[in-house]
Amino acid sequence: MKDIIPPGNSVKWYKLEAMDMYRDIPSPFGLISRAVWKKVQHLCLSFRDVYSWNEELNWLADHWCSNSFEHKLKRLGFATTVYELWSARNRKIFQQRHATAVYIVQKVVEDIQCARASWERIPKTRENRELALEWGLSHKIFVQICI
């Protein structure tokens, strides 16, 4: 890649190298994103260490891959977390507004609760109820399963 950098742009090249070095760190925030993702994992009832985003995504694809309510909610939690961390990063860079981990988690929960408005006929199982309680979702989204 060095041979495609024009001469005299060594500062830009250094910045590119530094960015590349940190591409697998969970986010531009480091500690904040780690705290946010750890809390979202707890909301998803998933208790494991936090790794790089690539490892997290691979683990998610291997373990949360069914069409069940539980797996859909966990995938949505992951996607919403990435979105809110990216939004917080952009606010920090472009508007000089800093967000705390608590604020970002609150935004993730609000986004999930807003998405809930379109959910219908979720099976009323113990796992689904536990997840709904963690996320602060209403029990009205569930239907009784006839066995």
Residue 13 pLDDT grade (very low, low, confident, very high; cuts 50, 70, 90): very low
What's the chain's average pLDDT?
77
Two tokens at 41?
């994992």
Residue 145 pLDDT grade (very low, low, confident, very high; cuts 50, 70, 90): low
Q: Are 93 and 85 in contact (CB under 8 A)?
A: no
Residue 54 pLDDT grade (very low, low, confident, very high; cuts 50, 70, 90): confident
